[in-house]
C-alpha cells in the first residue's frame, strides 16, 4: 500500500462558505463530494464560468450532501463538460434538485442576458452562462437515490453511506472509505431546535474528518421554537406598525418553509396582524410542494400540510410580482437569500428607500454579497446598475440559521473521534474557521487541525496525520471576500454627492481629470501575472 492511499483536494468551500467541492482520488480514480456554485462578489462568482481543475468526463460519481446551490449548483456545468456519471443522494435531495437546478439554469441564462443588455457594458465582451436549463435537467436525471445509513459503491474502490445532517430536507453527511482510510465529511450541519429535521447523527472512529465552520466563531443563545416565534412576532408587529412592507430575503429551500411554519402559527394564534403573506419566488413555491409531500415525515407539523393556509399567497408570473410595487402593509418574502439575484432585488429597489418599510434578514450573508453590504450599514447600494438609498429599517434575526453554532460543531466533531488523523475545517470565512480551530485545539490539544485553502491537496492514510501534497491556487484565493466591484459600487454611489460638495466648478472638473489620469496610469502599467505555487510535501502542522 502506498504512503497516501487516498488524496483529498479542495476545489471549493475552503476559506469561503460557498462553492463546496472536494475531490477524493484513490488508485487512479476520483469521485467528488459536492460540486457547488460560488456565491458572493462578482469576482468570486466568475469562478463559476472558468474551467474545472479536473476533467468532468473522467469523474465516475458525485456524492451529494444536499440540494443547496452552493453544494450542487455546478453539477449542470459538469454535465455540459462531459460528466456522465451518477449523482448519489437521498430521495428528498433528488426531488428538490429537480427544481433547484432547473431554476439555477434559468437564472444563469436570464442573468447573462440582462447583464449583456446593460448600458454601462456597451462594447464589452459578452457574458456566457455557466450552463443552461437543459444542462440542469440532464444533471438531475443522473441522480441515484440511496437511503440513509445504507452502504453503496459510488465507484470502484470506494464505499460510502449517508447520515442525517439535520440541516435541511434530505441533507446528509458522507462517510467514505477507500484504500483502508475512513473519512467523514459533515456537509452542512443543522443546529439544535431546528424545525422539520432530527438532530445530526453519525458513527465514530474516523481517520480524518472534514467539518463545516460557517458559524465556527459564534455561540448562539439557546432558543426554543416557541421563543423564536415570539421574536419573529415582535419583528413583524413592529414592522407593520410603521405602515410599510416587511421584506424578507429568503433562501427558497428550507428557510422559506421554516418562516411559513412560524408565520402560520402566529397568524392563527392572533399574535401578529392578519395581513397577506406573499411568497414571491416560483422556486420557493415548487420547493414548498416537495415539503408538502414529505409533511407526514417532518417534525413540528403534526403531520399536516401547514403550507395550504389561506394567508399564504404564492406569487407566480412576473406581472403579479410587479403588482406588489403598489402594496403597503404586507409581508413579502422573496429569493435569493443573499440578495444576489432573483426577485428580491426588485423588491429591495422599491422598498429600501422607504423609511416606513423594513428589511428583515434571517440567513447568512456572505462577504461581498448585496445582503452583507446592506446589513453592515450601507447608506446607499447599487442594484442592477441603479443607485438606491437605504432608508428602510434594517433588522436581523439569527435564530433561523440552518447551521450549527460553535458548540454544535464542537460536539459533532468530538462525537466522530477518537481519530489519529486530521480535522479539516472548511465551508467558513477565515475568521470563523480560525475561531473554531482555536477552540478545538483548546478542547482537544492533541488534535491535528487544518484550515485548507482553495486548490490544496492532502495525502490521507489510516491513523496518520494528513500530509499536504499540493499548495493552494493563489488566483482562486484572491477571489474570496469583497472585491473591487464592491468597492466600485460603493465609490460610484457616493461619487456624485462628494463632487457636489466641492463648491468650485473648476475644482470639480480638476478632481475628475485627476481621477482619469490615475486610472489611465494603471491601464498603462504592466500587471504582474498570478501563478500557482509549487507543490510541496510539508507535513501538516
| Residue extents of the structural domains in the chain | 6-219+402-477, 225-396, 484-519
CA-nearest of 400, 402, 39, 392 to 247 is 392
pLDDT band, residue 540 (cuts 50/70/90): very low
Lowest mean pLDDT among 13-22, 104-113, 200-209, 260-269: 104-113
Q: Is the pTM of this model over 0.85?
A: no
**Max intra-chain CA distance, the chain:** 77
pLDDT band, residue 485 (cuts 50/70/90): low
**Cell numbers representing residue 223 in the block:** 432558543
6-219+402-477 CATH pick, 3.60.15.10, 3.30.70.360, 2.40.160.20, 3.40.1160.10: 3.60.15.10
Q: Where are the beta strands (DSSP E) in 240-276?
A: 246-249
pLDDT tens for each residue of 444-480 = 999 999 999 999 999 999 999 999 999 877 666 666 6
User: Is the separation of the CB atoms in 224 and 249 below 8 Å?
Assistant: no
Lowest mean pLDDT among 25-34, 291-300, 393-402: 291-300
State yes or no: pLDDT of 503 exceeds 90: no
How many whole angstroms separate alpha carbon 335 and alpha carbon 309? 21
How many whole angstroms separate alpha carbon 366 and alpha carbon 379? 19
Lowest mean pLDDT among 114-123, 177-186, 305-314, 492-501: 114-123
Q: Which pLDDT score, from 0 to 100, does residue 529 have?
A: 45
Fold observed for domain 225-396: Rossmann fold (3.40.50)
Q: Which pLDDT score, from 0 to 100, does residue 226 have?
A: 92
User: Is the separation of the CB atoms in 159 and 178 below 8 Å?
Assistant: yes
Q: Which pLDDT score, from 0 to 100, does residue 493 have?
A: 65
How many whole angstroms separate alpha carbon 154 and alpha carbon 299? 31
Q: Which pLDDT score, from 0 to 100, does residue 385 have?
A: 81
Q: Which pLDDT score, from 0 to 100, does residue 444 have?
A: 92
**Cell numbers representing residue 36 in the block:** 457547488
Tell me the CB-side half-sphere exposure of residue 422, using CA atoms within 13 A. 21
Peptide bond into 49 cis (omega under 30): no
CA-nearest of 195, 249, 179 to 392 is 249
pLDDT band, residue 535 (cuts 50/70/90): very low
State yes or no: pLDDT of 283 exceeds 80: yes
**Cell numbers representing residue 142 in the block:** 443522473
pLDDT tens for each residue of 297-337 = 888 887 778 898 899 999 988 999 999 999 999 999 999 89
Is residue 316 packed enough to be buried (19+ CB in 10 Å), middle (13-18) or exposed (0-12)? exposed
Q: What residues have CB less than 8 Å from 52, skipping those under 6 apart?
A: 11, 77, 78, 81
Q: Which pLDDT score, from 0 to 100, does residue 536 have?
A: 39
Cα dihedral sign for 397, 34, 74, 106? negative
For residues 35-54, average pLDDT: 87
State yes or no: pLDDT of 360 exceeds 80: yes
The overall average pLDDT reported for the chain is 90
pLDDT exceeding 90 applies to what percent of the chain?
69
State yes or no: pLDDT of 512 exceeds 70: yes
User: Is the separation of the CB atoms in 83 and 31 below 8 Å?
Assistant: no
State yes or no: pLDDT of 1 exceeds 60: no
How many whole angstroms separate alpha carbon 299 and alpha carbon 536? 49
pLDDT band, residue 222 (cuts 50/70/90): confident
For residues 370-380, average pLDDT: 94
Q: Which pLDDT score, from 0 to 100, does residue 481 have?
A: 57
Q: What residues have CB less than 8 Å from 203, skipping those under 6 apart?
A: 163, 175, 416
State yes or no: pLDDT of 414 exceeds 90: yes
pLDDT tens for each residue of 54-77 = 999 999 999 999 999 999 999 999
Other beta carbons within 10 Å of 128: 10
Between CA 77 and CA 31, with CA 403 as vertex, the angle to 5 degrees is 35
- DSSP H stretches of helix in 426-535: 430-443, 474-477, 484-500, 505-524
Q: Which pLDDT score, from 0 to 100, does residue 42 have?
A: 75
Alpha carbon distance, N-terminus to C-terminus of the chain: 24
Rounded alpha-carbon distances, angstroms, from residue 472 to 198, 224, 444, 533: 36, 41, 27, 7
State yes or no: pLDDT of 539 exceeds 70: no
Q: Which pLDDT score, from 0 to 100, does residue 266 have?
A: 96
Lowest mean pLDDT among 38-47, 101-110, 310-319, 441-450: 38-47
Q: What is the CA radius of gyration of the chain?
A: 24
Amino acid at each position: 500500500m502506498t504512503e497516501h492511499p487516498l488524496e483529498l483536494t479542495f476545489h471549493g468551500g475552503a476559506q469561503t462558505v460557498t462553492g463546496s467541492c472536494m475531490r477524493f482520488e484513490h488508485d487512479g480514480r476520483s469521485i467528488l463530494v459536492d460540486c457547488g456554485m460560488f456565491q458572493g462578489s462578482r469576482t468570486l462568482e466568475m469562478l463559476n464560468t472558468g474551467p474545472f481543475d479536473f476533467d468532468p468526463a473522467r469523474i465516475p460519481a458525485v456524492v451529494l450532501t444536499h440540494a443547496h446551490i452552493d453544494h450542487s449548483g455546478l453539477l449542470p456545468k459538469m454535465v455540459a463538460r462531459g460528466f456522465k456519471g451518477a449523482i448519489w443522494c437521498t430521495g428528498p435531495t433528488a426531488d428538490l434538485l429537480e427544481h433547484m437546478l432547473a431554476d439555477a439554469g434559468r437564472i444563469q441564462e436570464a442573468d447573462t442576458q440582462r447583464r449583456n443588455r446593460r448600458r454601462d457594458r456597451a462594447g464589452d465582451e459578452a457574458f456566457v452562462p455557466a450552463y443552461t436549463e437543459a444542462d440542469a435537467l440532464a444533471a438531475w436525471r443522473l441522480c441515484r437515490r440511496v437511503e440513509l445509513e445504507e452502504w453503496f459503491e459510488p465507484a470502484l474502490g470506494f464505499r460510502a453511506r449517508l447520515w442525517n445532517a439535520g440541516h435541511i430536507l434530505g441533507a446528509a453527511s458522507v462517510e467514505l472509505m477507500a484504500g483502508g482510510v475512513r473519512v467523514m465529511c459533515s456537509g452542512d450541519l443543522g443546529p439544535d431546535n431546528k424545525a422539520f429535521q432530527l438532530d445530526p447523527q453519525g458513527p465514530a472512529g474516523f481517520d480524518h474528518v472534514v467539518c463545516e465552520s460557517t458559524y465556527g466563531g459564534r455561540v448562539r443563545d439557546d432558543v426554543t421554537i416557541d421563543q423564536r416565534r415570539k421574536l419573529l412576532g415582535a419583528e413583524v408587529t413592529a414592522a407593520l406598525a410603521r405602515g410599510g412592507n416587511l421584506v424578507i430575503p429568503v433562501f427558497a429551500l428550507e428557510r422559506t418553509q421554516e418562516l411559513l411554519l412560524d408565520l402560520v402559527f402566529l397568524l392563527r394564534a392572533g399574535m401578529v396582524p392578519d395581513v397577506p403573506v406573499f411568497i414571491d419566488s416560483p422556486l420557493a413555491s415548487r420547493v414548498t410542494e416537495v415539503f408538502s409531500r414529505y409533511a407526514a415525515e417532518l417534525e413540528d407539523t403534526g403531520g399536516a400540510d401547514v403550507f395550504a393556509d389561506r394567508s399564504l399567497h404564492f406569487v407566480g408570473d412576473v406581472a403579479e410580482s410587479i403588482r406588489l410595487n403598489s402594496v403597503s402593509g404586507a409581508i413579502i418574502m422573496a429569493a435569493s437569500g443573499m440578495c444576489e439575484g432573483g426577485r428580491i432585488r426588485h423588491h429591495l429597489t422599491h422598498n429600501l428607500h422607504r423609511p416606513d418599510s423594513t428589511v428583515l434578514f434571517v440567513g447568512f450573508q456572505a462577504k461581498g454579497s448585496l445582503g452583507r453590504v446592506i446589513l453592515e450599514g450601507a447608506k446607499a447600494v447599487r442594484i442592477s446598475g441603479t443607485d438606491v438609498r437605504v432608508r428602510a429599517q434594517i433588522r436581523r434575526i439569527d435564530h433561523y440559521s440552518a447551521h450549527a453554532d460553535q458548540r454544535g460543531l464542537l460536539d459533532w466533531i468530538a462525537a466522530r473521534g477518537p481519530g489519529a488523523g486530521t480535522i479539516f475545517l472548511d465551508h467558513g470565512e477565515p475568521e470563523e474557521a480560525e475561531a473554531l480551530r482555536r477552540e478545538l485545539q483548546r478542547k482537544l490539544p492533541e488534535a491535528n487541525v487544518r484550515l485548507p485553502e482553495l486548490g490544496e491537496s492532502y495525502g490521507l492514510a489510516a491513523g496518520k496525520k494528513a500530509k499536504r501534497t499540493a499548495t493552494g491556487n493563489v488566483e482562486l484565493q484572491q477571489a474570496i471576500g469583497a472585491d473591487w466591484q464592491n468597492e466600485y459600487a460603493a465609490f460610484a454611489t457616493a461619487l456624485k454627492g462628494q463632487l457636489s460638495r466641492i463648491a468650485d466648478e473648476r475644482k470639480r472638473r480638476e478632481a475628475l481629470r485627476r481621477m482619469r489620469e490615475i486610472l489611465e496610469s494603471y491601464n498603462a502599467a504592466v500587471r504582474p501575472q498570478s501563478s500557482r505555487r509549487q507543490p510541496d510535501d510539508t507535513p501538516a502542522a
